[in-house]
């Protein structure tokens, strides 16, 4: 799963501190960090291994050269190979109902780690994902809510992830472009590539867990997975969200809930510091060694929805965008305008910015030599996004 790994690292690095803390590390412990989730999705699964780092360092410390495998209680073995700083299963596989799975790791220094056996949970589908206008903490926006039910009354613990995909249209797009040719002339011509409509995606990085353990009916009803302000530019045009639901064990639920609680308790660098979060992975020769992370075995289902801005806010439009934009005036008739000129810049600046793709064409007045230009991200969405429409888009 996509945990906020920096939170884990902060928790570990400051575990021994009891005084107000500056960004320096004392009593640092080099601990193995494990991120591993296998599901009923038939695919190549991934295990990530790294080490904690001191607060003053920023470069990740990847565990290279490890031997990683997952074993079922029926003797099935799935081996993993190192690929680009992570470990990928050599073959596609999916977990099977009724089986237990154990993660085994041998690091490059010869240490061996093993998880507790984790049982395959019941697979439960998502009934509904809805986008609802809602006010949260005085902020008007749209809430993404999930409803799911389990008639078998066996699934009690749920975790959610999501991927947002949204349509981007720059506010100052023009069908034309301007270029500087070899003779230092400005040439205006029609665009030949799509620069008006783009699509971007963003994966969740928060911890979303819930339980039905104390409910008479085993139903997750309108659980709030995500909230977007009305002013969020991601919903200005058309927006889609893919919600993934994981059925997890009670131990996994408690692990993630504790991590979420600690990471949301205001400043982590306060006088009262949190303790170590125990997972389900231990060193076979030294059970007292701390290991960060949790080996999760879960069943997953997913559902995607789409909506336009006016689906949530009828008869309204949004002008929110990802950047502040405005038109900038340049003259092509003089190298530099006078200090008292209202123009933004002259020919030297104009040519320089065009050649470096910092500004793009919006309009011009041939007789006056005035060019109306905008920053690239205000007129060309490919400057920060992709003009390839996703296959699932509708």
Q: In whole angstroms, how large is the CA radius of gyration of the chain?
A: 27
Secondary structure in 3-state letters for 24-44: CCCCCCCCEEEEEEECCCCEC
**Tokens 């990085």 label which residue?**
205
The answer to whether position 354 is within a domain reads: yes
- Residues 374 and 362: beta-carbon distance below 8 Å: yes
| pLDDT at residue 2 in the model | 52
Is residue 48 located within the same domain as residue 186?
no
Mean pLDDT for the stretch of residues 15-29: 57
pLDDT tens per residue across span 127-167: 999 999 999 999 999 999 999 999 988 999 999 999 999 99
The answer to whether position 284 is within a domain reads: yes
Closest CA to 268 of 55, 51, 29: 55
| pLDDT at residue 215 in the model | 87
Is 268 exposed, middle or buried, given 0-12, 13-18 or 19+ CB atoms closer than 10 A?
middle
The total number of structural domains that make up the chain? 2
pLDDT tens per residue across span 236-262: 999 999 999 999 999 999 999 999 988
Q: Which residues contact 345 (CB under 8 A, 6 or more apart)?
A: 328, 329, 330, 331, 336, 337, 353
Task: Place 336 in a pLDDT band, splitting at 50, 70 and 90.
Answer: confident
Task: Place 183 in a pLDDT band, splitting at 50, 70 and 90.
Answer: very high
- State the residue range of the domain holding 28: 5-122+254-298
**Tokens 């639920």 label which residue?**
253
Secondary structure in 3-state letters for 190-246: ECCCCCCCEEEEEECCCCEEEECCCCCCCEEEEEEEEEEECCCHHHCCEEEEEEEEE
Is residue 264 located within the same domain as residue 322?
no
The answer to whether position 224 is within a domain reads: no
Q: Which residues contact 212 (CB under 8 A, 6 or more apart)?
A: 150, 155, 156, 158, 218, 219, 220
> Residue 373: what are its φ and ψ, rounded to 5°?
-125, 160
The answer to whether position 246 is within a domain reads: no
- Residues 166 and 145: beta-carbon distance below 8 Å: no
- b/e per residue 218-250 (b: at least 16 CB within 10 A): bebeebebbebebebbbbbebbbbbbbbbbbbe
The answer to whether position 338 is within a domain reads: yes
Q: Does 269 score more than 90 pLDDT?
A: no
Is residue 40 located within the same domain as residue 107?
yes
| pLDDT at residue 9 in the model | 42
| pLDDT at residue 53 in the model | 87
Is residue 292 located within the same domain as residue 323?
no
Select from 268, 298, 328 the last residue of a domain. 298
pLDDT tens per residue across span 57-105: 888 899 999 999 999 999 999 999 999 999 999 999 999 999 999 999 9
Q: Does 17 score more than 60 pLDDT?
A: no
The answer to whether position 64 is within a domain reads: yes
Task: Place 333 in a pLDDT band, splitting at 50, 70 and 90.
Answer: confident
Query: What rounded mean pLDDT belongs to the chain?
Result: 91
Is residue 115 located within the same domain as residue 14?
yes
**Tokens 């810049």 label which residue?**
345
Is residue 11 located within the same domain as residue 114?
yes
SS3 state of residue 297: strand
Is residue 270 located within the same domain as residue 378?
no
The answer to whether position 157 is within a domain reads: no
Distance between CA atoms of residues 5 and 51, nearest Å: 11
DSSP conformation class of 116: P
| pLDDT at residue 58 in the model | 83
pLDDT tens per residue across span 190-231: 999 999 999 999 999 999 999 999 888 889 999 999 999 999
Task: Place 7 in a pLDDT band, splitting at 50, 70 and 90.
Answer: very low
Distance between CA atoms of residues 128 and 189, nearest Å: 48
Is residue 183 located within the same domain as residue 322?
yes
**Structure tokens, 141:** 């926006």
Paired strand residues for 215? none
| pLDDT at residue 13 in the model | 43
Distance between CA atoms of residues 236 and 30, nearest Å: 45
């Amino acid at each position: 799963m996509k945990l906020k790994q920096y939170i884990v690292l902060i928790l570990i690095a400051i575990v021994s501190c009891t005084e107000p803390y500056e960004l320096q590390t004392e009593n640092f412990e080099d601990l193995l960090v494990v991120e591993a989730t296998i599901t009923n999705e038939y695919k190549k699964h991934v295990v990530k291994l790294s080490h904690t780092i001191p607060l003053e360092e920023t470069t990740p410390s990847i565990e290279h050269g490890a031997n990683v495998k997952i074993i079922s209680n029926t003797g099935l073995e799935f081996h993993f190979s190192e690929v680009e700083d992570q470990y990928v299963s050599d073959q596609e596989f999916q977990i099977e109902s009724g089986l237990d799975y154990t993660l085994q790791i041998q690091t490059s220094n010869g240490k061996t780690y093993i998880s507790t056996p984790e049982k395959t949970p019941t697979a439960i589908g998502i009934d509904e994902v809805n986008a609802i206008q809602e006010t949260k903490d005085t902020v008007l926006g749209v809430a993404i809510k999930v409803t799911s039910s389990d008639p078998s009354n066996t699934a009690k613990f749920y975790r959610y992830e999501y991927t947002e995909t949204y349509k981007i249209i720059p506010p100052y797009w023009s069908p034309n472009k301007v270029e500087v040719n070899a003779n230092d002339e400005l040439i205006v011509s029609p665009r030949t590539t799509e620069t008006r409509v783009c699509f971007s995606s963003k994966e969740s990085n928060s911890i979303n867990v819930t339980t039905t353990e104390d409910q008479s009916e085993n139903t997750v009803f309108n659980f709030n997975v995500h909230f977007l302000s009305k002013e969020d530019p991601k919903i200005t045009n058309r927006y889609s969200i893919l919600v993934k639901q994981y059925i997890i064990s009670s131990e996994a639920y408690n692990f993630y809930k504790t991590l979420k609680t600690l990471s949301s308790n205001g400043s982590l660098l306060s006088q009262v510091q949190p303790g170590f979060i125990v997972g389900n992975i231990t060193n076979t020769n030294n059970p007292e060694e701390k290991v960060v992370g949790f080996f999760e075995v879960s069943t997953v289902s997913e559902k995607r929805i789409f909506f336009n801005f006016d689906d949530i806010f009828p008869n309204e439009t949004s002008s929110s965008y990802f950047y502040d934009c405005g038109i900038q005036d340049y003259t092509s008739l003089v190298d530099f305008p006078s200090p008292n000129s209202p123009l933004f810049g002259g020919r030297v600046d104009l040519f320089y910015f065009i050649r470096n793709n910092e500004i793009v064409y919006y309009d011009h007045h041939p007789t006056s030599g005035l060019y109306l230009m905008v920053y690239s991200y205000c007129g060309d969405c490919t400057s920060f996004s992709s003009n390839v429409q996703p296959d699932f888009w509708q």
